[in-house]
């Protein structure tokens, strides 16, 4: 084995341990937030690491149970029961595989960023509203409004007089929360790869065990096989219910969109192999169908674990695969270690995770570069996800984002490509909207590596925020990869195009 190969293997082993330490609290916490046994979250982490890691189209992305789907699973299990979740995931996974084979990956990337981030913000708020109850050793309700309404009852248990189990749980949860946030802000440089979530859970666990506190802890099966529940023929009959069909579609679409957005973000973090989006969709579909077959939680590509993987120096997909093997080893050899973790410590981790999904920085970015329209789309999506449900919020957000381009439905983006030995000239003309994103991405991502690219927008009359963000992100990524870029700004660009030209010129400089 060469020195270079040895170095890559060492980096992969080290990064896999970091991702493993990040993944364990999240696998446990997301299972709790989903209202299911923790074994389901652990099985999903194993499948996301080993199975999806082997066949993924994004070699450095890490897959596993995601906070973004916890709210959906919780509401579904509350209404339809746990037995129907497996068949739903099997069919949702099949739809993802079909979408990959039909090369629909780019269409998921055409969804408005305002809708996607609005959806994630709404989910983050719902997670926070639910986990506040778990922090105080109470059971959360299925919806955001219900959790707000139940807050008086939960607080009454804590403040009802005396040191109750609920007040003890709150103290331990707050200690975990402070330890997690404090570590992330003050940790020494040499320990920068030690995740805050691990510190927070460890702090709560040590206090709970040392003082033998009477608060709820993680319930783990004696063996991993006890946590696996295969779907029955009777459970598949439940797929005929309208609610089950809707959940299949919601999980397939949201898991795919979240995965591909995460993969695009991962591509921006490194200069190695780019994501093959359709292959990644197929891999996620295989993983979700297998999760459904084994009675586990749905999985997506997860940006938290993926960014930890890259920051720790991962070189190949071995890191992702190894982190799944470490989860399997822990569950197989030391399941009792997980059984001492208090639920309130995991709730603290999810409170931070949910808050970070809100991402007000993205709202400021939308307003600064695209004005009030996408901010309004974001706000409408967030509000309806929290007050109504996820499907209504996303549907209204998509409708509003499409309403923005109604005046331009009869016009489209024309991309003229000219190439010589030294450079490629891309001429953008007409109107660029979200419906042009797949064709635009196919053109941009098929350009030969290394050659200088010159972009001119002299004939461009309008771009919506989805198309503008797509072009800008591609320019940022290629500049970081070292490609020579030039943006030829027209003397007097169209008013709706001028901000994009300014951003591209600044990014390409």
Question: Of the spans 145-149, 170-174, 234-238, which averages the highest pLDDT?
Answer: 170-174
The two structure tokens encoding residue 315: 């070189």
Does residue 379 form part of some domain? no
Reported as type and span, the H/E element at residue 322 is helix 318-333
Long-range contacts for 488-497 (Cβ within 8 Å, ≥24 apart)?
488/454, 488/455, 488/456, 488/457, 488/458, 489/457, 490/456, 490/457, 490/458, 493/457, 493/458, 493/460, 494/460, 494/461, 494/462, 496/461, 496/462, 496/463, 497/457, 497/460, 497/461, 497/462, 497/463
What is the count of structural domains for the chain? 2
Residues 187 and 324 both lie in one domain: yes
Q: Are strands 452-463 and 423-432 parallel, antiparallel or unpaired?
A: parallel
Q: What tens digit of pLDDT does each residue of 127-152 get?
A: 899 999 999 989 888 788 888 988 98
| CATH code of the domain containing 415 | 3.30.750.24
Separation between Cα atoms, residue 412 and residue 461, nearest integer Å: 10
Q: What tens digit of pLDDT does each residue of 412-446 get?
A: 888 888 888 778 888 888 888 888 888 888 888 88
Residues 303 and 412 both lie in one domain: no
Domain range enclosing 462? 408-508
Average pLDDT value for the chain? 88
Of 80, 419, 34, 110, the residue nearest 238 (C-alpha): 80
Residues 176 and 260 both lie in one domain: yes
> Which residue among 328, 349, 370 closes a domain?
349
Helix (H, G, I), strand (E, B) or coil at 238: helix
Does residue 277 form part of some domain? yes
Which pLDDT value is given to residue 509? 66
Separation between Cα atoms, residue 504 and residue 493, nearest integer Å: 13
Does residue 33 form part of some domain? yes
Residues 140 and 289 both lie in one domain: yes
Does residue 28 form part of some domain? yes
Residues 335 and 431 both lie in one domain: no
CA atoms within 13 A on the CB side of 52: 37
Question: Of the spans 203-217, 229-243, 362-376, which averages the highest pLDDT?
Answer: 203-217
Does residue 294 form part of some domain? yes
Question: Of the spans 55-69, 110-124, 252-266, which averages the highest pLDDT?
Answer: 55-69
Q: Is the pLDDT of residue 256 over 70?
A: yes
Q: Is the pLDDT of residue 109 over 80?
A: no
Which pLDDT value is given to residue 383? 94
Residues 103 and 241 both lie in one domain: yes
> Which residue among 301, 333, 349 closes a domain?
349
- Of 264 and 61, the one with more pLDDT: 61
Which pLDDT value is given to residue 3? 64
- Mean pLDDT for 466-484 is 84
pLDDT tier for residue 471 given thresholds of 50, 70 and 90: confident
| Lowest mean pLDDT segment, chosen from 54-58, 231-235, 322-326 | 231-235
Which pLDDT value is given to residue 24? 92
Predicted TM-score (pTM) of this structure: 0.85
Does residue 424 form part of some domain? yes
CB–CB of 343/354 below 8 Å?
no
Residues 324 and 421 both lie in one domain: no
Residues 89 and 212 both lie in one domain: yes
Does residue 369 form part of some domain? no
Separation between Cα atoms, residue 419 and residue 245, nearest integer Å: 48
Which pLDDT value is given to residue 1? 58
Does residue 433 form part of some domain? yes
Which pLDDT value is given to residue 4? 67
Residues 197 and 284 both lie in one domain: yes
């Amino acid at each position: 084995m060469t020195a270079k190969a040895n170095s890559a293997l060492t980096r992969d082993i080290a990064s896999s341990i970091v991702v493993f330490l990040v993944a364990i609290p999240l696998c446990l916490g997301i299972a709790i937030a989903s209202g299911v046994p923790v074994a389901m979250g652990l099985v999903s982490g194993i499948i996301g690491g080993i199975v999806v890691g082997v066949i993924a189209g994004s070699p450095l992305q890490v897959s596993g149970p995601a906070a973004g789907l916890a709210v959906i699973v919780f509401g579904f299990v509350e209404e339809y029961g746990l037995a129907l979740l497996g068949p739903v995931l099997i069919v949702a996974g099949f739809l993802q595989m079909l979408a990959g084979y039909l090369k629909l990956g780019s269409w998921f990337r055409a969804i408005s960023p305002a809708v996607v981030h609005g959806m994630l913000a709404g989910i983050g708020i719902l997670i926070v509203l639910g986990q506040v109850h778990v922090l105080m050793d109470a059971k959360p309700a299925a919806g955001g409004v219900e959790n707000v309404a139940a807050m008086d009852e939960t607080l009454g248990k804590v403040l009802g007089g005396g040191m109750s189990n609920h007040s003890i749980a709150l103290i331990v949860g707050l200690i975990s929360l402070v330890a997690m946030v404090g570590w992330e802000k003050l940790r020494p440089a040499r320990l920068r790869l030690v995740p805050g979530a691990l510190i927070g859970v460890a702090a709560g666990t040590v206090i709970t065990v040392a003082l033998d506190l009477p608060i709820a802890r993680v319930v783990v099966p004696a063996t991993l096989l006890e946590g696996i529940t295969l779907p029955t023929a009777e459970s598949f009959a439940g797929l005929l219910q309208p609610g089950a069909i809707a959940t299949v579609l919601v999980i397939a679409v949201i898991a795919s969109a979240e995965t591909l957005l995460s993969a695009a973000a991962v591509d921006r973090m490194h200069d190695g192999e780019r994501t093959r989006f359709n292959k990644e969709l197929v891999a996620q579909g295989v993983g979700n169908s297998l999760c459904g077959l084994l009675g586990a939680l749905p999985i997506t590509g997860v940006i938290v674990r993926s960014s930890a993987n890259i920051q720790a120096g991962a070189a190949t997909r071995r890191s992702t695969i190894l982190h799944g093997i470490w989860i399997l080893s822990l569950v197989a050899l030391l399941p009792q270690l997980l059984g001492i973790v208090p639920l309130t410590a995991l709730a603290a981790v999810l409170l931070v995770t949910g808050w970070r999904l809100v991402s007000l920085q993205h709202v400021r970015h939308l307003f600064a570069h695209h004005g009030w329209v996408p901010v309004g789309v974001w706000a409408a999506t967030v509000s309806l996800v929290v007050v109504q449900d996820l499907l209504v919020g996303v549907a209204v957000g998509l409708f509003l984002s499409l309403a923005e381009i109604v005046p331009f439905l009869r016009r489209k983006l024309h991309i003229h490509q000219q190439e010589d030995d030294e450079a490629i000239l891309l001429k953008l003309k007409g109107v660029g909207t979200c419906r042009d994103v797949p064709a635009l991405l196919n053109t941009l991502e098929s350009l030969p590596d290394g050659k200088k690219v010159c972009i001119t927008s002299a004939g461009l009359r309008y771009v919506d925020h989805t198309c503008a963000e797509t072009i800008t992100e591609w320019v940022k990524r290629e500049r970081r990869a070292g490609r020579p870029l030039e943006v030829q700004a027209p003397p007097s660009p169209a008013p709706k195009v001028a901000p994009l030209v300014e951003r591209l010129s600044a990014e390409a400089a």
